Amino acid sequence: MVTASAPGKLYLFGEHAVVYGEPAVAAAIDRRATVTVEARDDDHLRVDSEDLTLDGFTVEYGRAAEEDPDVDVSESLIEAATGYVDAAVEQARDAADAPEAGFDVTIESEIPLGAGLSSSAAVTVAAIYAATRELGVELTPGEVAERAYRVEYEVQEGNASRTDTFCSATGGAVRVEGEDRESLDAPELPLVVGFDGGAGDTGALVAGVRDLKDTYDFAADTVDVVGDLARRGEEVLLDGDLEELGDLMDFNHGLLSALGVSSRSLDAMVWAARDAGALGAKLTGAGGGGCVVALDETEETETALRYLPGCEEVFRAALDTEGVRIE
């Protein structure tokens, strides 16, 4: 039996534009998903969801088409809970040349599901790392990141970016542009995260931006500007200039709003943070619901968000410099 964990992450700059080869800057945070894997004597998978912000449940099923999960829950819930695990296990089987391997998989997570903090990437990275170790294969974080990206690309039907899985596998701050991935020597940041309790539909949001980009030249230009902003944001981050970093975060949120991926709840949290004195605030992730991230060394933003109707959870997030690891 092997247990591995991997961190979630938030975008400082570049979400949505990164899908089109523009750069993105992201940071791993100190909330992690933990996956325990134990090999079985058959080819079945048994997935035990302890939380994942879903009702806990256990489901066991085989690889053959006639051995579908036999549980009294919705098909969409089963797909959400098992899709990434299925694909991660296939990657582990491939890496170990063990196509018939079966596993008992237990998932626990501190990361809200679908909130823009890369819960799926953290689960996928930790699952691949644990399953390959259970089969006697040791992958580097870079190899895990690449295999995890293939999982997300498959499950998200081509809408995935390498940012999530690379950041989760390596930890720290990262820059991703196309297939180029780089770790950044970033300083500690006073990050405050607000969560509205919801989750956006990543596929629909990415498709909506694509439609706008294909229809209007100014939308395509906006995507390009998001990329330019990420390039400047990287420079400012490495310089440690929090004032300008906050300004650029505000600008990035405005561009994402123009692309139609914000929401009333996200905008309300962003403005509450700014009114409380945050240096900057923006949505993080695909949008449509989920989380915002703000820069504030004081307690004012935390207090403002805690008392804001529609904000379900507020927490400080520290940069997690350690990526996937064995527990």
β partners of residue 7: 32
Count CB neighbours of 221 within 10 A.
Answer: 11
Q: What is the DSSP code (8-state) at residue 183?
A: E
Q: Which of 184, 190, 45 is nearest to 106 (CA)?
A: 45
Question: 14-33: b or e for each residue (b if 16 or more CB lie within 10 Å)?
Answer: bbbbbbbebbbbbbbbbbbb
Total number of residues shown for the chain: 327
164 is catalytic: yes
Among 72, 97, 164, 296, the one annotated catalytic: 164
Residues 6 or more apart whose CB falls under 8 angstroms from that of 66 comprise none
Task: Tell me the helices (H) and strands (E) count for the chain, helix number first.
Answer: 9, 12
Q: Which residues are catalytic?
A: 164
